[in-house]
Amino acid sequence: MSNTMWGGRFNSGPDAIMEEINASIDFDKALWRQDIRGSKAHVAMLAKQGIVTSADAKAITDGLSAVHAEIEAGEFTFSRSLEDIHMNVESRLAEIVGPAAGRLHTARSRNDQVATDMRLWVRDTVDALDAQLADLQGALAEKALAHAGAVMPGFTHLQSAQPTTFGHHLLAYVEMLGRDRGRFADARRRMNECPLGAAALAGTSFPIDRRTTAEALGFDRPTANSLDSVSDRDFALEALAAASICAVHLSRFAEEIVLWTTPQFGLVRLSDKFTSGSSIMPQKRNPDAAELVRGKTGRVIGALTALLVVIKGLPMSYAKDMQEDKEGVFDALQTLSLCIAAMAGMVRDMEPELKTMKKAAGLGYATATDLADWLVRTLKMPFRQAHHVTGRIVGLASDNGVGLEKLSLAEMQAVEPAITQDVFAVLGVERSVRSRVSYGGTAPVEVKKQARRWLAKLAQEAAAPAR
């Protein structure tokens, strides 16, 4: 008996192991919406070009709508023997509309079909991720505006460096996420070309109109080379690269939340919504949501690495290796979506421990740079000399076990006689942050400007027409 999928060329069905390794329906059924959407656009173009009759086109379109309704209602049976989402849809379509269903595959191949489906799915997901990232940016900017003047320690090398503010720190992530959104937007712009009509690899002899199909599916244009059309997975790689960088940003923030919520830092607190307890230690409140965001980053990066390895040795044009693009892409982008949602929840939930933050901001002689700047600004001292003088004063304070602001004027003048009483005006952490008024600095007035700028930008984006 011949194989029902491949007809006369094959005299028997596949071995069980072949069926197991070859089937992709278990995961590519996620493409069902995109597959049906692409098929509808394709058959509409075939009718417009007179390649199929309008009657057949209507029957096929109505049948595809019926398949859509069945899958959406959970009434569709996916068959592994039919390998993939394309054959599952087409087989059911044939049951509904009869022989006319066989005309749907005119002037296309599963090669250009799956390339189109994947582009549509990735594009749809990128749009959804962009909306989530904008929401997270909004949550951060709102929290930053509310805590623009909340003094906290700023670190380099995870050592106390200079006082900053909680609002300023949160806005750093707003900027990072803005770049992430830019990378996704760039990837979306390049992926927005339609492979449908490239057929297996060489195009088709039928008089198709690829521009009509591309326009119907919301693409900017059809792809320009049929070989590249079915071979290209750059769009998936770019999306995964952008996702990996974004996941790393979320992981860095998650790590800070983990540190900040420890008793040793005690800078912020999370409620029961985003923490868990211990089965043995009743006092514990573990920042599990943040830890999971940090951990899941590995899955996103892993998907990018895996797809790069799959693609690196493939000749033109399509090879079955490319079936391995889907699971990693699906998992990585869905994982990133979950991580963004968790991070937005934590941002809205977290509350700063203001007194602890302010106290910690003054530890480690964090206003030493303010002292050096004062020496330069007031005494006209070269910065390198001021750096040396400040270092000696810090050493004196350390020997005495006190903060810089606790040294007497006489003790400072023993190091540098020209120092005056005015120096104490720059040694408090609040005065320190207020003085950082340069563009993008940590001064509360500047933080408020930046937070309001972002909130206005996000509101403007939200009001713009959907693309």
Q: Which of 157, 205, 279, 438 is the catalytic position?
A: 157
Q: How far apart are CA 253 and CA 290, in angstroms?
A: 8
Residue scoring higher pLDDT (199 or 5): 199
pTM: 0.92
Q: How far apart are CA 428 and CA 437, in angstroms?
A: 16
What are the percentages of helix, strand and coil residues in the chain, rounded to 5?
A: 65, 5, 25
Tens digit of pLDDT for each residue in 344-366?
999 999 999 999 999 999 888 88
Mean pLDDT estimate for the chain:
94
- Whether residue 243 contacts residue 333, with contact meaning beta carbons closer than 8 Å, is answered with yes
Helix (H) or strand (E) holding 352: strand 351-352
Is the pLDDT assigned to residue 95 strictly greater than 80?
yes
Tens digit of pLDDT for each residue in 150-202?
999 999 999 988 999 999 999 999 999 999 999 999 999 999 999 999 999 99
Confidence category of residue 283, pLDDT binned at 50, 70, 90: confident
Whole-number pLDDT of residue 174: 98
Distance of CA 278 to CAs 254, 265, 287, 288, 316, Å? Answer: 20, 20, 11, 11, 54
Whole-number pLDDT of residue 464: 87
Whole-number pLDDT of residue 304: 98
Whole-number pLDDT of residue 17: 86
Whole-number pLDDT of residue 2: 39
Whole-number pLDDT of residue 21: 87
Is the pLDDT assigned to residue 224 strictly greater than 70?
yes
Confidence category of residue 16, pLDDT binned at 50, 70, 90: confident
- Alpha carbon 351 to chain centroid, angstroms: 25
Look at strands 193-194 and 221-222 and give their pairing. parallel
Whole-number pLDDT of residue 1: 32
Q: Evaluate the omega torsion of the peptide bond into residue 317 and state whether it is cis, within 30 degrees of 0.
A: yes
Active site residue 160: no
Confidence category of residue 5, pLDDT binned at 50, 70, 90: low
Whole-number pLDDT of residue 23: 86
β-strand partners of 159: 156
Q: Which of 2, 79, 278, 408 is the catalytic position?
A: 278
Q: How far apart are CA 113 and CA 33, in angstroms?
A: 13
Structure tokens belonging to residue 13 = 């069905």
Is the pLDDT assigned to residue 3 strictly greater than 60?
no
Return all residues near 458 (Cβ < 8 A) that are at least 6 apart.
Answer: 134, 137, 138, 141
Amino acid of residue 183: R
Tens digit of pLDDT for each residue in 49-86?
999 999 999 999 999 999 999 999 999 999 998 999 99
SS3 assignment, position 265: coil
Active site residue 249: no
